[in-house]
Structure 1
Amino acid sequence: MFGTLGLIAVFAVLGAWARYGQSILVQIVLGRGFPWATLSINVLGCFLMGFLFFETLERSALSPELRTGILTGGLGAYTTFSTFSLETLVLFENGEAIKAFAYMFSSLFLCVAAAFMGAWVARSI
């Protein structure tokens, strides 16, 4: 029914909705004093990318079109590294260099670790 571009579009809408919903929830729970919402989205998105990339490549029989729709559309719209960059810039501009560096390093290490964990989980089950 849908080609690759249609599947990317459908999953992009779902990814954007998931991102928005998670942002609201995390900000309600943890507040806005630190960009917890974006950090949580990046970490979960990296885990899902690591997991789904290998799960769908090595074990699941998904069509290449559906796989591209999920990974490029869904996770591309869900993860937020552009938002991460802007929030880091704003922290620096507001004179909060310690928070900015904490955010940069925690995002880098947690997201890469999450991608490794996702790949490990996909290969372990």
Structure 2
Amino acid sequence: MISSVSMVALGGAIGAVCRYLAGLGIIRLLGHHDFPVAILTVNILGSFLMGMFVVAAALRDLTWASPLVMTGLLGGFTTFSAFSLETANLIERGAFGQAALYVALSVGLSVSGLFLGLMAARGVFA
């Protein structure tokens, strides 16, 4: 059986690669902006997927996969460390309004994404 640490490492590697590719895809789709749209999108999607997995794991006896999926894959995919850096960059550039908007959108929409994931999963798995 794979150890929890190995599952976190594997999931983290996959999640980080997915984050990188999603970021590239979003930038190619929308173009490069001063506002960190790619990271915001990844955080919202990752929160939605976390909500989906929490319900699926509880209802389908998948909690054994939590280290792989929640800590590893989704932890590597979501980017709150990058969120902090982007916020600091906006503040250092003097873009205080954009920084405040970015923080509010990131937190508000990510939490909303998690709740939507919970509701969607409950509709699918319940």
Q: Above 0.5 in TM-score?
A: yes
Q: Tell me, in whole angstroms, the C-alpha distance in 2 between the residues paired with 1:19 and 1:11.
A: 12
Counterpart code for 2:72 = G
Deviation at 1:33, TM superposition (A): 2.0
Aligned to 2:19: 19
Aligned to 1:88: 87
Q: Tell me, in whole angstroms, the C-alpha distance in 2 between the residues paired with 1:6 and 1:28.
A: 33
Aligned to 1:71: 70
Deviation at 1:54, TM superposition (A): 1.5
Q: Is the 8 A contact 2:39 2:82 kept in 1?
A: yes
Count residues in correspondence: 123
Q: Is the 8 A contact 2:22 2:42 kept in 1?
A: yes
TM-score under structure 1 normalisation? 0.92
Deviation at 1:39, TM superposition (A): 0.1
The alpha-carbon distance between structure 1 residues 63 and 103, as it changes in their structure 2 partners (threshold 3 A), is closer
Q: Is the 8 A contact 2:56 2:62 kept in 1?
A: no
Q: Tell me, in whole angstroms, the C-alpha distance in 2 between the residues paired with 1:85 and 1:63.
A: 30
**How big is each residue's C-alpha offset from its partner over 1:39-82, in whole Å with a ceiling of 9 and x where there is no partner?**
0010000001111012111x223251x22211100001110011
SS at match of 2:49: helix
Which segments of 5 or more consecutive residues in structure 1 lack a partner in the other structure?
none
SS at match of 2:60: coil
State the Cα RMSD in Å: 1.2
Which segments of 5 or more consecutive residues in structure 2 lack a partner in the other structure?
none
Q: Following TM superposition, where does structure 1 have runs of at least 4 consecutive aligned residues deviating by more than 2 angstroms?
A: none
Counterpart code for 1:89 = A
